[in-house]
Structure 1
Amino acid sequence: MKIDAKVYQNAERLHWAYRQGLVPGGQVRPLYLEGGQRFWYARRTGDDKEIILVDPAAGTREVVAEPPAAPGDFLEARSPDGRHVAFRRGHDLWIRSEDGQEGPLTTDGRQDYEYGTAPDVMKPTTIMRTLGIPDLPPAVAWSPDSARIVTHRTDQREVRETHWIEARPADGSEPALHTKRYPYPGDEQAPVAELVVLNAEDGTVVRAKSEPVNMPFFSPIQMRWLWWSQDGEAIYYLDQPRDYQTLRLNRLDPDTGEVTTIVAESGPTRVEPNQFLGAPPMVEVFGEEVLWYSQRDGWGHLYLYDAATGEPKNQVTSGEWAVREILRVDEQGRVVYFTASGLVEENPYRRSVCRVGLDGSGFAKVADDDLDHVVSLPDSGEYFVDSASTVITPPVITVRGWDGRVIVELERPDVSGLEALGRRAPQPFRVKAADGETDIYGVIHLPPDFDPARRYPVVDSPYPGPQTNRVSPAFDQGFFGYMSEQIAALGFVVVALDGRGTPGRGKAFHDESYGRLATAGFLEDHVAAFHQLAETRPWMDLDRGVAVFGMSGGGFATVRAMLDFPELYKVAVSICGSHDNQYYQQGVGEMYDGPGADYTESSNTEDAARLEGKLLLIHGGMDDNVSPQQTLRLVDRLLAADKDFELLIVPGADHLFIGYEHHMLRRLWDFLVRHHLGAEPPAGYRLTPAPLDMDLISGFFS
């Protein structure tokens, strides 16, 4: 059987659908003006883009010809009064005034011991070279009065170096060596941040009188783990030792450098300010009080502390649900606003906007519905932008007041363009995990011509966390959701779910992953789910087994599925997989597997000889997030075991395959069609290369 080219064309149209604005207004990314009094956003419609200006106070929304304010240079950090910018030059920080005069704030920076920079390990250097981006924004925070800057000196001097060979640089010259500091789990040396306060007016330097801050992934300033008090009299920051079993809130005196600990909490596993890595920490300091997030009762809740004594005052939220993000603290009204998951019986991942008194009384939903709410708000906190949807319900995006009333409706997206391509809304489901007790949730993507009387080959699309979810409770299913829709359009049923150990629920559920990275997001739960789903969905053809594909951590899970459950998983495409945790990022192994773990347990290379079935490995040769050596180490062991497999190394490709995405996708589609659908792809079919989408790129770097 040969696949008709129209099938590939339809899948490709779905690939382009989100890029080309077939869901106009599906997302709103507000850019706030004048402290949030107004904001604007770009609305894409086909090849065109509209600029929408919103004035919440006036209740207006209008189309304007140009953005109301040009964005500043993202490599500069402007002071609150707008009179100065801080920027990096060489290894030091500099300042420039509005009249153009500039000078250094530091002069002793040097290679691998420099000011205002993030650690190398998560810096997307290959993508930056591709896009011509010379650096990331400086890691600095201005004081409210624009007089001082807090930053850090990043020390990577003794951190392990990892190397990449660029086989053919863009100019066609000889192979080039690229090196970055990239530590592995268990290494003695790790990147650290030495906190320092710089006076922008007189050049005074005050260094924190404390140990440097552990910095496994990003700058604490970029992670919002460090901030100024509202009056500028103190700097607050969170820090953790490398075992991640203690979290401390510290106060840094910007005049003296003295550091005192206000609140500290320890536990037998990870102690986190948010289960989602990179999400805002749920800690607020206001007046003489601290709001502190803790999972000490088994759920993520807020607690009120005395900022002067560090003593607890009362628990603010409680119940078998989890706080997800602090939105606003109304000090005068003694109320905190936040999002929470677990309040909707149908799906515990849906986020609700809530309020409660700081004494724990008066809990209520601000938006009293069962939708999932994605929220953005300005620094002023006078209102919030709310995108309310479900997996099957397109979003309604509004500006709301804190009483829940709609001030301005922004978007009510038309999804008819997607439906015209045959896109079917994912089917949500709930089944039992492999333990037979725990509820787990996911979605099923169906082919455009779905007929329940037919039987369809089934594909699994895993991402194991433990730092994020695979399935979103919102209409927008994100990058992996888009890939799943495209593959479903080829004639497959594609399943995605979150097994035990992933975030967004209770502490015990998340802790299932602690010390168990080898389970790859509890693949045994995936196996259990497939058998339960097939009992009531006879159109899921498990007789031919299940195919599986994934990227990055999902690439690791893809191969792990083939190794651990060969009776079910028969075909696999692993893309840029982190196959050998011994030689992957230090922070991932030490945070999620625990200190001193046997990292070989979460290494696919150790078990490569057990491979059965059809496997395609794809990796970018210049992937500096998950190094190509991760795949090549696996290849070495597969060859040693004389296993058959296919390998595609894309020499110049980064972790996102920018410029090569069309080829990577076609090879993924072709492999699944040949080996799982049992058909031949359309001869000579080629996907159209994607132009650089600067909206997506700017979101990636923001």
Structure 2
Amino acid sequence: MLANGSSTGTDPHERARYLASGLRNVRVFNDTVRPFWSDDGKLFSYCRRTPDGTDYLLVEAGTGRVAPLFDRKALAARIAALPVAPEAAEPVDVRLARDATAIEFRLDERLWRATRDGLVLTDLGPVAAPAENVAPDHSARLVIRDHNLWLVDHSGKRPLTSDGEAGNGYGGFLGFDYNLAEARCPPIALWSPDSSRIATLRTDLRQVPLAHLIEAIPPDGSRPRLHSFPYPVPGDEHGALSELWFIDRNGQRVPARMDRLVSFGANPLISYPAWWSDNGGHFYLHEGSRDGDRLDFWQVDTATGDTRRLVIEEGPAAGRPCFSPSPQPQVLRDGRILWSSMADGWRHLYFVEPGDPRSRRRITAGGWNVVSILHVDEDAETVLFAAAGREPRLDPYYLQVYSIRFDGTDLRRLTHQDLNHDLSLPSRALTQVPAGSGRYPNGTSPDGTFFVAAHEAPDRPPVSALYDRNGRVVTTLEHADAGAAWPADMPLPEPFHVQALDGETELWGVLYKPPGFDPEKSYPVIDVIYGGPQVFMAPKSFGQTTYARYAEGLAAAGFVTLLLDGPGTPGRSRDFWLHSHGRMESCGGLADHVTAIRSLAADRPWMDIAEGVGLTGFSGGGYATVRGMAVHPDFFTVGVSICGNHDVSLYIANWAEMFQGMDAGSRRGLASADVADRIAGKLFLVQGEMDDNVQPSQMLRLVDALVKADADFDMLIVPGAGHGVAFHPYALRRTVDYFLRHLAGRE
């Protein structure tokens, strides 16, 4: 529902700040329904937000009947009668307990359980701090102290490991994004379902070369401070070496009997799904090759440490499921593995036979992609799954829900709205149980009989409904209320599709128009680009993605902006995705962006591209901005490049090695410095001083080349800012001003 809309004033900076801040998401009521199911799948709870407050509701799945989740008055009276009355008046994050007889919630930074009539109240202990990893049953928490894991429970604190040391510790992050925040992050460990053990890594970083940052203005006002952290780049000999351990609450340890996992990127338990079996007897994990062309799927006996390789997947991009939409494998009772593969050019489901890791028996087929497995019914031999691209004339990224039999017959479409479907996906392979719940929401009931989905689009607020396994709508749960979120005088986003440079391939994206839009007027155009081969950027839902926030913010300042996913980005066929592999300088189809914008402007005279187009992006988009201005100088005439990874040979190793190639020669000529002398337009470089993802040295290499070319350019380094500097209020204001001055011709 869209009503009067929000008011953000007339100042372009204020308008840009509002939409770029993500506040629009917060002001949409009931855009998502996140179910918490009872174990028998007959009931679930969810939270309804309204302008007047929050309601917690209980749904009877078979009938769709909705009722209050608990007796508010009785619970309030019981809370007020506590020996020490809590400061907060209302419980938050309330959800149905698995046994359906009680609720769980947070109150005053403690976890509580109460019967639904509110008469019996149990204190479950404190909410986990940001640096703690809480057990599923809330009975214990993990922390890191001096590179070792410690257990905190009702009896106090005690070490689970004692041999950890600097550069060779337990449970730590090794991903480049987390180095400076490590002390504020929970240990990387996965609890067993019964909360008795953990799976974690001991990671040796001692031979990994270091990257460095200098913090010019530390918070305590002291002299500049050096920060150094492991950061492998392409061609480095040594990466992180990780041992997998299973540790019980008494510190008894079992090592996995396998070679150490080698990583040149993030922690292996984060890079790929890893999880415990339901009975805790086995642990499953993936191991990807350094070049990204092989993926092994392992089973580990958690009592003995014995390992078994269940699946071997080989071929172009086979080892990169974490960089494209792909389902988590499922191990069936008879040992068969429900696996996904792009071997035929599209991601489909197969059975892999136990003991034959290269065997494949096809289940799904066609020019479309399976994105996630929602439920496997082994007795009925059916799979419930989400897929994209199967329905003609629909945006090929839009998710629909289907079911199919194990033998590949009886494929049924269960959602029939020609829109995207947002689903709360199963999250077994996550590292931390959220504070206050002990579990994650799941859109699908435990027995697969029901599922909850919201149909929506960038210009259509979501409508959430409960479906049964035959696709019947049991009840409509919520119509999102976006009336207070979207600026009243600003048009809704416009999804579009155009032909690519080849004249055949359809490309899809979203246009954003400025406040007070008048089709009789004309507006300067900004292409908001990312171009990395691991993610598509144009949103498919009403909610704001990171790049949508940025594009909307710039549109609110008076521009037409767009997000477009060109060749070389994921979510389509393997051939479409591989377009950028080995040619990362194409930045997800820069030439296709030019063709698409010209095509759009031909049908939309209010898009003013006569004097050039603006180009901006951050991270990979910062690199794409410079490359676009150099390769298409007559088209992209004004650019704001933010924290760009301007030289992939000095960026985190797995980015270039997976997507460009292992040979050092393949990376020659890719650096922004190599094309600096070809830039003719107005260029503004923005960098966060403390960016541990893309260090300032990347930008300074480009600056050095621009200086040597005697080129004019503008530059901003924001002290203390990190990789998200694009949303820093000062950087955003300067970006808006730069485009207003040089693209719109306004001071």
TM-score by length of 2: 0.83
Residue identity matched to 1:283? P
The alpha carbon displacement at 1:16 in A equals 5.6
The alpha carbon displacement at 1:311 in A equals 6.1
The alpha carbon displacement at 1:352 in A equals 0.8
Q: 1:324 corresponds to which residue?
A: 371
1:381 counterpart (446, 463, 469): 446
The alpha carbon displacement at 1:435 in A equals 1.9
2:173 counterpart (99, 115, 118): 118
Matched-pair contact (CA < 8 Å) for 1:14–1:486: yes
2:518 counterpart (438, 451, 456): 451
Q: 1:25 corresponds to which residue?
A: 30
1:632 counterpart (700, 708, 721): 700
Pairing 1:207–2:263 present? no
Structure 2: which 5+ residue stretches go unaligned? Answer: 1-8, 73-89, 95-104, 112-126, 426-440
**Change in CA separation of 1:596 and 1:53 when aligned onto 2, cut-off 3 Å:** farther
1:103 counterpart (155, 158, 162): 158
**Change in CA separation of 1:261 and 1:504 when aligned onto 2, cut-off 3 Å:** same
Matches within 5 A, 1:168-567: 168-201=217-250, 203-223=251-271, 225-276=273-324, 281-287=327-333, 288-310=335-357, 312=359, 314-344=361-391, 345-377=393-425, 378=441, 381-382=446-447, 383-406=450-473, 409-567=476-634
Q: Name the CA distance, whole Å, in 1 between partners of 2:192 and 2:745.
A: 63
Q: 1:685 corresponds to which residue?
A: none
The alpha carbon displacement at 1:185 in A equals 1.3
For residues 418-437 of structure 1, the C-alpha deviation after alignment (integer angstroms, 9 at most, x for no partner) is 45532212222221211222
1:614 counterpart (682, 685, 692): 682
The alpha carbon displacement at 1:242 in A equals 0.6
Matched-pair contact (CA < 8 Å) for 2:318–2:342: no
The alpha carbon displacement at 1:626 in A equals 1.4
Pairing 1:77–2:133 present? yes
Q: Name the CA distance, whole Å, in 2 between partners of 1:421 and 1:624.
A: 39
Between the aligned residues of both structures, percent identity stands at 38
Pairing 1:141–2:190 present? yes
Matched-pair contact (CA < 8 Å) for 2:213–2:226: yes
Q: Which of 35-44 and 671-680 deviates more?
A: 35-44
2:144 counterpart (68, 83, 88): 88
Residue identity matched to 2:538? V
Residue identity matched to 1:305? V
Q: 2:97 corresponds to which residue?
A: none
Structure 1: which 5+ residue stretches go unaligned? Answer: 681-702
The alpha carbon displacement at 1:447 in A equals 1.8
Matched-pair contact (CA < 8 Å) for 1:17–1:23: no
Residue identity matched to 1:272? R
The alpha carbon displacement at 1:75 in A equals 3.4
Matched-pair contact (CA < 8 Å) for 2:649–2:667: yes
**Change in CA separation of 1:52 and 1:558 when aligned onto 2, cut-off 3 Å:** farther
**Secondary structure of the residue that 1:214 maps to in structure 2?**
strand
Matched-pair contact (CA < 8 Å) for 1:341–1:350: yes
**Change in CA separation of 1:292 and 1:652 when aligned onto 2, cut-off 3 Å:** same
Q: Name the CA distance, whole Å, in 2 between partners of 1:408 and 1:214.
A: 49
Matched-pair contact (CA < 8 Å) for 2:13–2:733: no
Q: Name the CA distance, whole Å, in 2 between partners of 1:178 and 1:572.
A: 31
**Change in CA separation of 1:629 and 1:501 when aligned onto 2, cut-off 3 Å:** same
Q: Name the CA distance, whole Å, in 2 between partners of 1:665 and 1:172.
A: 26
The alpha carbon displacement at 1:40 in A equals 4.5
**Change in CA separation of 1:620 and 1:198 when aligned onto 2, cut-off 3 Å:** same
Q: Name the CA distance, whole Å, in 2 between partners of 1:266 and 1:529.
A: 35
Q: Name the CA distance, whole Å, in 1 between partners of 2:14 and 2:135.
A: 50
2:91 counterpart (58, 61, 66): 66
**Secondary structure of the residue that 1:411 maps to in structure 2?**
strand
The alpha carbon displacement at 1:103 in A equals 2.1
Q: Name the CA distance, whole Å, in 2 between partners of 1:111 and 1:280.
A: 36
The alpha carbon displacement at 1:500 in A equals 0.2
**Change in CA separation of 1:166 and 1:40 when aligned onto 2, cut-off 3 Å:** farther
Residue correspondences, number: 664
Q: Name the CA distance, whole Å, in 1 between partners of 2:50 and 2:715.
A: 38
Q: Name the CA distance, whole Å, in 2 between partners of 1:423 and 1:28.
A: 27
Q: Which of 548-557 and 601-610 deviates more?
A: 601-610
The alpha carbon displacement at 1:280 in A equals 6.5
Pairing 1:678–2:745 present? yes
Matched-pair contact (CA < 8 Å) for 2:173–2:179: no
TM-score by length of 1: 0.89
The alpha carbon displacement at 1:325 in A equals 1.2
Matched-pair contact (CA < 8 Å) for 2:347–2:368: yes
Q: Which of 87-96 and 569-578 deviates more?
A: 87-96
Matched-pair contact (CA < 8 Å) for 1:56–1:407: no
Q: Name the CA distance, whole Å, in 1 between partners of 2:263 and 2:257.
A: 18
**Secondary structure of the residue that 1:230 maps to in structure 2?**
coil
The alpha carbon displacement at 1:321 in A equals 0.3
The alpha carbon displacement at 1:15 in A equals 4.3
Q: Name the CA distance, whole Å, in 1 between partners of 2:612 and 2:229.
A: 41
Matched-pair contact (CA < 8 Å) for 1:14–1:418: no
Q: Choose between structure 1 and 2 for higher RCO, CA contacts under 8 A separated by at least 6 residues.
A: 2
**Secondary structure of the residue that 1:508 maps to in structure 2?**
helix
Residue identity matched to 1:66? P
**Change in CA separation of 1:450 and 1:265 when aligned onto 2, cut-off 3 Å:** same
Matches within 5 A, 1:642-661: 642-657=710-725, 661=728
**Change in CA separation of 1:316 and 1:185 when aligned onto 2, cut-off 3 Å:** same
**Secondary structure of the residue that 2:669 maps to in structure 1?**
helix
Q: Name the CA distance, whole Å, in 1 between partners of 2:619 and 2:36.
A: 31
Residue identity matched to 2:157? E
**Change in CA separation of 1:491 and 1:204 when aligned onto 2, cut-off 3 Å:** closer
The alpha carbon displacement at 1:496 in A equals 1.6
Q: Name the CA distance, whole Å, in 2 between partners of 1:627 and 1:444.
A: 32
For residues 390-437 of structure 1, the C-alpha deviation after alignment (integer angstroms, 9 at most, x for no partner) is 122111123444343445644312233345532212222221211222
Could you say what the CA RMSD is over the residues aligned between the two structures, in angstroms?
2.6
Matched-pair contact (CA < 8 Å) for 1:150–1:196: yes
Pairing 1:158–2:223 present? no
Q: 2:98 corresponds to which residue?
A: none
**Secondary structure of the residue that 1:395 maps to in structure 2?**
strand
